[in-house]
Each structure stands twice: as C-alpha cells, then as structure tokens.
Amino acid sequence: MTCGAAPDNDALVGLTEAEAAIRLRRLGLNLLEASPKQHALMAFLGKFRNPLVLILLVAAAISGGTGDFSSFVIIVAMVLVGVVLDFVQEYRAGIAADALKSTVALQVLVIREGKERTIPAAALVPGDLVRLSAGDLIPADGQVVEARDFFVNQALLTGESFPVEKHAGCVTEDAAADGDLPVSAAFMGSSVISGSAILKIDQTGKLTRLGKISHSLIAEAPPTAFETGIKQFGYLIARVTIALAGFVLLVNLALHRPPLESFLFALALAVGLTPELLPMVVSVTLSRGAMRMAKQKVIVKRLSAIHDLGSMDVLCTDKTGTLTEARIELVQHVGIDGEESEDVLLLGALNSYFESGLKSPLDDAILAHALSDKCGDLSGWSKIDEVPFDFERRRVSVLVEHQGKRILVIKGAPEDILARSTQVGTPTGRAPTPYDDTAKKLALDLFDAKSRDGFRLLAVGWKAVAADFSDIEVGDEAGLVFAGFCAFVDPPKASAMPALQAMQTAGIEVKILSGDNELVTRHLCASLGFAVTGLLTGTEIGQMSEEALRGRLAQTNLFCRVTPPQKHRILLALKQRGHTVGFLGDGINDAPSLHAADVGISVDSGADVAKQSAAMILLDKDLSVLANGVIEGRRTFVNILKYVMMGTSSNFGNMLSMAGASLLVPFLPMSPIQILLNNLMYDFSEVPIPLDEVDQDQVLTPRHWDMGFIQRFMVIFGPISSAFDFLTFGLLLYVFKANAALFQTGWFVESLATQTLVIFVIRTRGRPWASRVHPILAATTISIVLLGILIPATPAARWFGLVPLPWHFLAALAAMALVYLTIVELVKGRFFRWSERKAVRPA
C-alpha cells in the first residue's frame, strides 16, 4: 500500500559532506548518552568514593591531627599508589573494551550528495536521508519520504507489540496531538519488520522522543551472574573482616592499649585484609579475555558476558548457517504428483521477486534458479499489493497483475498453505480440482518423502481475483489453489560435527531450535552425528503449560517448527531449571530471546536489532568459533578465581593470627603502617595474574561462582596459614626473645612471604612444577618477597618501624615457607577431590 505521492528523485540528493560536518559539530553525536562518558579526571576522583579508601583517608587525617606526620604521609602515599594502580589498569581496560565495541557499532546507509554510503549511526545529523530495510534499527527521529510496505515495531515508545505500517506524506508533524505517533514518522528505538523506506532525519540524539525520556532508561540492567557472584563474595569478605577487626579492637581496648593506636590498628587491619584490588584484577582479566576472544573472531560487547559464556552449560541455536552452510539451493519445483512443474517455479519466483518485506535465502535461491531456468519474463508482471511475511503466519502474499488479470500468489510453510487450500492446480494447467482426502494424502506423502530425504520445502498457492481487486488482507489468504512445492537443500557445514563434539566435551548441551519441520531437521542431525534424545514441535509447545514444558526439557534437545515467542519460552524455562543458557540468533524476532538469555550471541551479518540485543557478536557464524570463545571465558574466570582463592586463604589466616596475637603479646603484633605496606606489596605481586596460563583440565567444564566452595577454601586453608604465623610467633618470642620491633618485622616478612608464594601452589589444581607459570607473575612474586626481606636492612626501614632480621631467622623462615607450601599442596589435592564430589549440576 502507498500513501501520498512519491518524492521527486531529484530531492533524494541529501546533504553535502560539508553541511553534515557543520551540523555534527553544532549538534553533537547522535547518541542518547544514557551512560555518559566520564572524563578521566572525574573517573580518577571517583576512585576515592570507595568506602575503604575513605576510611583510610580518615585514618590519615586522624594521624596528622594527632601529630603522627610520618603515618599521615605513608597512609596517603599508600592510598595514592593503590588508587593510581587501580585507575590506570581499569582505564586501559575500558579503552580496550570500547575499541572492541566500536567494531560492531550500528551502521546506517545514508544518502549524501546523491550517493549512498555506510556511516556510523552516531554521525547522523538532521537533514540526512537514510535508507532502511527489514531488520534495521531506526537510528533517529524523522519523516518517511518514500515507503514500500514499510512496517515497524515501535513497542518501545507505545507498548503496542503489533507492527505499524508507515506511509510517506500522510500527515503533518502535529497530527499526533492526540497522543498517537504519526504514520508518516518513524522514531529512534523502533525496528523495521518488513518493507523498505527512505527516512529524512529531523532530530538526533537527546532531542529525539527516546532521548527526551532517556532518563527512564538510565536505570541499571539487572545484575548478571558474574556481578552477583562478585557482590556475594564482597559481602562474605566484609562480614568476616568486620567481625574479626571489631574483635581485635575490643581486645586491644580491654587490655588498656592506647585507644587511638588501637583504632588505627583495627582500621588498617580491616583495609589490609580486604582484597581492594579485586575490581582492578577483574577489569584487567576480563578486558584481556575480550582481546583474546577478538582474535578468535568473537567481539565482546559486555565484559561480564565472558564469565557468563564460561558458565554456560546449555546452548540453544538454530541450524541454518550454524550447522549448515546457509548456501541454499532450489533443486526441485514439483506439483502434487511429484513431477517437475514450471508453473510452481513461476509462482514462487513472482512471490519472491515482488516481496518487499523480510527476504530470506530461500527467496534468493528461487530467483537464482528461475533466472537460470528462464521460467518466464517477470517484467510483464506488476505488483498491486502485498501482505508481508511475519513469524506467526509464516507466509507472504503478493497481488500481481499480468495482461489485465490479477492473481494472489502465496508461499510459506507447507502445513499453513495446505490448511488454507480448497483446490489443486496451476494457472496455466487444467482447471483446478478439489483438494479432497485423496489429494491431501498425495500432498502429505510427497511432503514426508521429500523431508526424509533432507529437503526443506516451501508450499506455493494462488487464487484468481477480480480485475479491480487492489487491497489484500490476511483474511484473503483462504480458499487457495495448491500448486506444489519448492524443494531446497542446505548442506551441513564441515566444521559442524567437530564443533558439536567440542561443545559436548566442554560439558555444554546443545539444543537445536528450528523453524523447519522435524523430518528435515532429523535428517541433518543424523548426518552430523547429533543424537536426538527427545523432540518437541511448536504445536506441542503451544499446548503445554510452563510446568509441563520445564518437565520435558531435560529429555529434549530438538525443537522443530518453533516460533520466536516459543524460543523465548524455552530459554526462560531452562533458566528456571538452574541452567546458564546461551542463545545464538541473528533474526529480527530473535531479539527478545537474545535479551532473555544469560549469554545472547548474534553474528556480524545479523539484523541490527539482534546485534543490539546481544552481549557478543560472532564475526563468523560458526559453532567452532563459539567453542573457542567458551574456553576463553572459562580461562578468564579461572584467573579471577586464583586471586579470590589466594586472597581468602591468606587474608582469613592473617585475621585469625592478628586476633590471636593481640591476646598473646603486650604490643601491637604489626603496626598500621606495616599492615598497609604488607598489603600494598602483596597486592602488587598479584597484578600479573590476568596474564597467567590456565591448566587444560580447568576449562573442561562450565565454571560458576560457588560461594560454598570459596567459604570452604577459606575455612580450610586460612587456618593452615595462621598455624605457620603462630609458629613464627613462637620462634620470635621464645627463640629470639624478640622485642616489639623485631616481632613486628619478623611477622611482616613471614606473612608477606607465605601469602605471596602460595600463588605457585593454588594457581593450579595439579602439581605446581607441572604447570607453567607466566614469567611476569613469577618474577613479580619473587621480587616482592626479596624486597620484603631487604627493606628492614635499608634506611627506609625506620619509616615503617622495621629492624634488620638475624640471618638464622631468615634461614628458619625459608624452611618454614617450604614446609607451609608443601602442606598446602598436600591438602589442596584432597580438598579439590572432596569439592568435586560435592558439586551438583542442575538437571
């Protein structure tokens, strides 16, 4: 349908590049800026809003106010070093992430100076002419100046889920005074369902309708599984730290030690025992993972999705282009008798040629075959009207005319076309005959036979209409004459079978969600060696309750003839069963499923609305690419877990030791400044963890945040660390008769050495000598230990209240450290075997 006169082609010249540049400078980029880019200085200052940093600054102020100037300088220096280190690493990680996201930024086809070219949507300005087609996102507000069966989904603005047809020049801009959106205008945030149009941009960025209400979109998205895990870990550490730091403070006050000194000690203890560099380690590890995944042709839009990909245990995917080559060819066009029919090819070609909506590879295959087969000159035909394809009807209708005669041509899913047919025949053959039980059996037998042979079928129907019939509706798709089938082949990808095997080996269950019928899909599964454990059709799913669907999911891995809303139901049901679900989709109606999945994955060639909804973009639509990305996601998570395990074991042990020492000795077991220095050096040694390699056996299964595992690790390994601290206390007090300074220095060095060197043991579940540690991590760890041993013998020692250590204490310390690491290694093996027995996967 059309509305209004088409614009003069001379008017479709667009802006000049110079005009566009001037408007872009004056009006700014076409961005909502829901999350404005923070200036580097403001981002740096924002680091000081961390409660732990604020507490330290308060402690520094108290120290300065009480005349302890050296403590004031050292605490402030420590804070600055920690904040700068965190900011630099996170800022670099952000730059890397932005660079990756820019490679998949929304692009638009704009007309400037009479020529079409592709530019980033952010560079659009008012006055630009943008060409839109099915699958595009509307990049800004504007007026439709040319339209051809142009349907858009503007649910984001109106809440109306049904597509709305837009026309050129029907109403003025003030026609929406009653609250309805004008049918001549299209708005940012809408998506093109079918047809094509040229849009003249009126408003961009924050001046669009969406921009004016963008404050309602600034609310943070629901936390991901990764973010929830980090938060739970933070709560765990905070509870333990506050409890034990409070206990130490009360003990010191009860023993009548100086209140200010006791307060600063407890404060430094709380800060020193908290893994405040965890955000930096997470940012660097995730950004490095994103860079490595980019080399595997996976672009990460949301960094936390890397963890979710590593946690994924179910992948839902279509088969076309993923398991098959997406190189579809039309190989047969047959009537109900199974014989070749040129009329079936002609009808299919007319429908595909004049269809202006969502074209598929099947349309391209029909037209390519028709051209090679020279089925007839389509130029003698003209289009009158169209009902575009949609995913509920699964068919498309065009009204065409030839030599004064008009016919309605329909193609679509066989069961839908056959259900609406009352006759059988072709326009140029004998008079149509009734579609009775005999004809129905012939059609269904032919359909089953072709499907079992692996062909994908489209049914073609038609009916004659009056010469003045010009407007068609969905209700006109009835009383059809069934003409026959178009049969297509789409060979399986050579990489599909090993990719499916790799997914299975990685502990990921693949579920195929296809719009095809079960016979074709089963044939493909058999050719790929994919064992079908259970099958559900869209019809069956439509009759199921949510509880019944959830109950069938464990035994079902093939879903056929499913619609996009049914895919969405399947994903939600899987998540309710406790699975971490990935969804691979590239179509317009895949957007809700991509958003609902834990890991929404689209492809670079997918529809804009699908790519916008996805957390990751595959540059190649190939399961093998995704399989490599899964391994990278797990590797990234394992490196984060190394820091968490190291921090929980050593920090909890130190807290127990500090609490016990406060009861045993008449002085502070370690001064606040020493705690801060120890913490800074320890954290610095762990900065290279994101670079470390990961053992192969640690990426074989999905990885999840498991607070129970972390707590067990902390409770078991913390006391081992604490036991060696108490051994050090005994050695210092009873062998070396240590005073306060020697005691503090000895424990400072022992604590730093043991909690730093333990990374060589806990970084791998196997034998430490059999797993290659990254050279930078090894060098940094050993250097920090050596520096900790040397500082007491340097002039800087007096700043920290440290004194030189006897050489025979250092020799004893080396022996104790070796025994400590040996015991941790022995316990580690038993612990991991026990934890694996406790692990329970969702059914």
Q: Where are the domains of the chain?
A: 1-219, 232-293+633-837, 296-325+493-628, 330-488
Mean of the per-residue pLDDT values for the chain? 81
pLDDT confidence bin for 589, thresholds 50/70/90: low
CATH number of 296-325+493-628: 3.40.50.1000
For residue 318, indicate whether it is catalytic: yes
CA separation for the pair 356, 148 (Å, rounded)? 7
Q: Specify the DSSP element, H or E, that contains 501.
A: helix 496-505
Same fold, 1-219 and 296-325+493-628: no
Domain 232-293+633-837 fold is Calcium-transporting ATPase, transmembrane domain (1.20.1110)
528 in Cβ contact with 574 (< 8 Å): no
Sign of CA dihedral 280, 286, 288, 294: negative
Q: Name residue 46's amino acid.
A: G
- Does this model's pTM top 0.75? no
Model confidence band, residue 173 (pLDDT cutoffs 50, 70, 90): very low
pLDDT at 1: 39
Report yes or no: 736 and 746 within 8 Å, Cβ to Cβ. Answer: yes
Spatial neighbors of 499 by CB under 8 A, at least 6 apart, are 622, 623, 624, 626, 627
Residue 563: which residues within 8 A CB-CB, separation 6 or more? 391, 392, 394, 515, 538
Question: Which residue in 415, 410, 421, 372 sits closest to 388, CA to CA?
Answer: 410
Q: Measuring CA to CA, which residue among 272, 274, 244, 281 is closest to residue 679?
A: 272
The Cα–Cα gap between 572 and 650 comes to: 40
Residue 280 has pLDDT above 90, yes or no: no
Two structure tokens written together for 838: 């406790």
Three-class secondary structure assignment of 596-659 = HCCEEEEECCCCHHHHHHCCEEECCCCHHHHHHHHHHHHHHHHHHHHHHHHHHHHHHHHHHHHH
Residue 242: enclosing H or E segment and its boundaries?
helix 225-254
Residue 244 clears pLDDT 90, i.e. is over it: no
Contact criterion met (CB below 8 Å) for 47 and 83: yes
pLDDT band at 10 (very low <50, low <70, confident <90, very high): very low
pLDDT (0 to 100) of residue 400: 93
Lowest mean pLDDT, pick from 231-240, 435-444, 633-642, 809-818: 231-240
397 versus 392: the higher-pLDDT residue is: 397
pLDDT in tens, 318-360: 887 678 876 788 889 999 988 989 999 999 999 998 887 666 7
Q: Is 121 exposed, middle or buried (0-12, 13-18, 19+ CB in 10 A)?
A: buried
Alpha-carbon dihedral angle through residues 757, 758, 759, 764, given to the nearest 10 degrees: 140
| Spatial separation of the C-alpha atoms in residues 299 and 21, rounded to whole Å | 30
- Could you read off the pLDDT of 784-830 as tens digits, one per residue? 999 999 999 999 898 888 999 999 999 999 999 999 999 999 999 88
Rounded to whole angstroms, the maximal C-alpha distance in the chain is 114
Q: Identify which has the larger pLDDT, 510 or 189.
A: 510
| Mean pLDDT, range 609-636, rounded to an integer | 80
Assess whether pLDDT exceeds 60 at residue 21.
yes
Contact 230, 282 (CB under 8 A): yes
Identify which of 349-353, 520-524, 657-661 has the greatest average pLDDT: 349-353
Contact at 8 Å (CB) between 784 and 756?
A: yes
Strand partners, 115: 112
What CATH number labels 1-219?
A: 2.70.150.10
Alpha helices in 686-806 (DSSP H): 707-730, 740-757, 759-762, 775-790, 797-800
Superfamily of domain 330-488: Calcium-transporting ATPase, cytoplasmic domain N (3.40.1110.10)
Which range in 279-293, 353-367, 472-486 is most confidently predicted, on average pLDDT?
472-486
Catalytic option among 318, 363, 586, 608? 318
